[in-house]
């Protein structure tokens, strides 16, 4: 999900699933189907596949992001945590200040199943979208999360609150350095969600496109990535190829 500044009062999360293709043979997937036939995979076997990826990079990315399971808690990990100096514990409830930002200060907060960013006063990224949408739905008594509220029904008082939220968010984005820096932080937060599951053993690997953002995020949280480090008890290192690996 790409997060950007918007003048609209209501925001929707969008999931790009265009690279995921059904395995049933279709004209736009004919090359892949032809390959499977050449390798002696019959149609009956092919149709048993629920999903297939025609591009290996898309497959790797999808596998790295294929779980929304809640993160392991501190109680789950208490017997595996490391007392090494170059170590972090990233479990639900953890809030860490990023060293690169001082005015305003920027924090990473680990929630139940996602990682959020915020200044000392204002939610950013997906946390802002969630807070904004939740506020609007409560104002209009909308209980169905899939229903798009009719914003024309907002009272003047509620509209003033909504506009204040937008203004505070705009000011926070400007304060951290603008849209580009904002998008950078949002990408770090999303990448750390994938990384935490990897460190916990909940995911087999880190998505290919996330390693650089993970490295930068860890360094801003005080980790020296030039040597071995520990997250949630797992021993990790950054290889010469720039990829985060388990020791």
Q: What is the pLDDT of residues 61-95, one digit of tens each?
A: 555 444 578 999 999 998 888 888 999 999 999 99
- DSSP bridge partners of 21: 52
How high is the mean pLDDT of the chain?
80
Question: Is cis: bond before 104, omega within 30 of 0?
Answer: yes
Shared-domain flag, residues 101 and 37: no
Calculated CA dihedral for residues 168, 170, 175, 178, nearest 10 degrees: 170
The per-residue pLDDT for 107 is: 96
Domain count, the chain: 2
Q: What is the Cα–Cα distance from 29 to 42, expressed in whole angstroms? A: 16
Shared-domain flag, residues 192 and 147: yes
190 located within any domain: yes
Reduced to 3 states, what is the DSSP secondary structure of residue 141?
Answer: coil
pLDDT at 15 over 70: no
Is this model's pTM higher than 0.85 or not?
no
Q: Which residue would you say has higher pLDDT here, 161 or 41? A: 161
The per-residue pLDDT for 42 is: 53
Shared-domain flag, residues 160 and 219: yes
> Highest mean pLDDT range out of 40-49, 52-61, 130-139?
130-139
The per-residue pLDDT for 57 is: 57
Shared-domain flag, residues 94 and 143: yes
pLDDT tens by residue, 90-109: 999 999 999 989 889 999 99
Residue 25: count other Cβ atoms within 10 Å of its Cβ.
15
Element (H, E) at 59: helix 56-64
223 located within any domain: yes
Q: What is the Cα–Cα distance from 101 to 20, expressed in whole angstroms? A: 38
Residue 38: count other Cβ atoms within 10 Å of its Cβ.
8
45 located within any domain: yes
Shared-domain flag, residues 205 and 148: yes
Average pLDDT over residues 30-50: 51
Shared-domain flag, residues 146 and 197: yes
Burial of 42 (0-12, 13-18, 19+ CB in 10 A): exposed
The domain in which residue 25 lies consists of 15-54
Shared-domain flag, residues 88 and 208: yes
10 located within any domain: no
Q: What is the Cα–Cα distance from 215 to 112, expressed in whole angstroms? A: 22
Shared-domain flag, residues 47 and 82: no
pLDDT tens by residue, 172-209: 999 999 999 999 999 999 999 999 999 999 988 888 78
Radius of gyration of the chain (CA): 21
| Angstrom distances, CA of residue 246 to CA of 28, 69, 196, 223, 237 | 39, 21, 12, 15, 6
Q: What is the Cα–Cα distance from 134 to 145, expressed in whole angstroms? A: 9
Name, in order, each residue with C-beta under 8 angstroms of 161's C-beta and a sequence gap of 6 or more: 135, 139
pLDDT band at 32 (very low <50, low <70, confident <90, very high): low
Shared-domain flag, residues 133 and 21: no
Q: Which residue would you say has higher pLDDT here, 210 or 13? A: 210
The per-residue pLDDT for 215 is: 95
Shared-domain flag, residues 88 and 19: no
Shared-domain flag, residues 78 and 196: yes
Shared-domain flag, residues 25 and 119: no
Residue 8 has what DSSP assignment? S
150 located within any domain: yes
């Amino acid at each position: 999900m790409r997060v950007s500044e918007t003048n609209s009062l209501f925001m929707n999360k969008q999931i790009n699933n265009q690279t995921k293709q059904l395995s049933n043979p279709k004209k736009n997937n004919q090359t892949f189907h032809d390959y499977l036939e050449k390798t002696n995979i019959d149609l009956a076997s092919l149709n048993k596949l629920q999903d297939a990826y025609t591009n290996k990079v898309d497959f790797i990315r999808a596998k790295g992001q294929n779980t929304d399971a809640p993160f392991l808690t501190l109680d789950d990990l208490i017997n595996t945590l490391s007392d090494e100096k170059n170590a972090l514990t990233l479990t639900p409830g953890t809030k860490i200040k990023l060293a690169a930002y001082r005015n305003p200060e920027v924090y990473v907060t680990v929630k139940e199943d996602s990682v959020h960013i915020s200044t000392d006063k204002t939610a950013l990224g997906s946390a802002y979208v969630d807070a904004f949408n939740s506020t609007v739905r409560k104002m209009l008594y909308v209980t169905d999360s899939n229903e798009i509220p009719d914003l024309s029904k907002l009272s003047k008082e509620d509209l003033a609150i909504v506009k204040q939220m937008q203004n505070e968010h705009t000011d926070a984005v400007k304060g951290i350095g603008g849209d580009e820096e904002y998008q950078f932080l949002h990408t770090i937060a999303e990448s750390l969600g994938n990384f935490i599951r990897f460190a916990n053993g909940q995911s087999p690997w880190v998505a290919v496109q996330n390693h650089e953002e993970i490295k930068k995020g860890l360094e801003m949280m005080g980790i020296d990535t030039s040597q071995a480090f520990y997250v949630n008890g797992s021993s990790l290192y950054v290889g010469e190829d720039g990829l985060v690996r388990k020791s």
